[in-house]
Chain A
Amino acid sequence: GAGVSQTPSNKVTEKGKYVELRCDPISGHTALYWYRQSLGQGPEFLIYFQGTGAADDSGLPNDRFFAVRPEGSVSTLKIQRTERGDSAVYLCASSLGVPGEGTTDTQYFGPGTRLTVL
Chain B
Amino acid sequence: TQLLEQSPQFLSIQEGENLTVYCNSSSVFSSLQWYRQEPGEGPVLLVTVVTGGEVKKLKRLTFQFGDARKDSSLHITAAQPGDTGLYLCAGALQGTSYGKLTFGQGTILTVHP
Contact = CB atoms under 8 A, between A and B. Distances in A.
Contact of A59 (B30, B48, B100): B100
Interface residues of A, number: 33
B10 to A, nearest CB: 10
A103 B50 CA distance: 8
Contacts of B104: 42
Nearest to B107: A42
Contacts, number: 81
B99 A42 contact: no
Interface residues of B, number: 27
B5 to A, nearest CB: 11
Interface string B27-69: 0001101000000111111001010000000000000000000
The 7 closest A-B pairs by CB, nearest first: A109-B42, A42-B103, A99-B98, A56-B97, A48-B99, A104-B48, A43-B103
Interface of B: 4, 6, 30-31, 33, 40-45, 48, 50, 88, 90, 92, 96-106
Given A41-B105, A42-B4, A98-B99, 11 more contacts: A33-B101, A43-B88, A43-B101, A45-B100, A48-B97, A56-B97, A95-B99, A99-B31, A103-B98, A104-B31, A104-B98
Interface of A: 4, 31, 33, 35, 40-45, 48, 50, 55-56, 58-59, 91, 93, 95, 98-104, 106-112
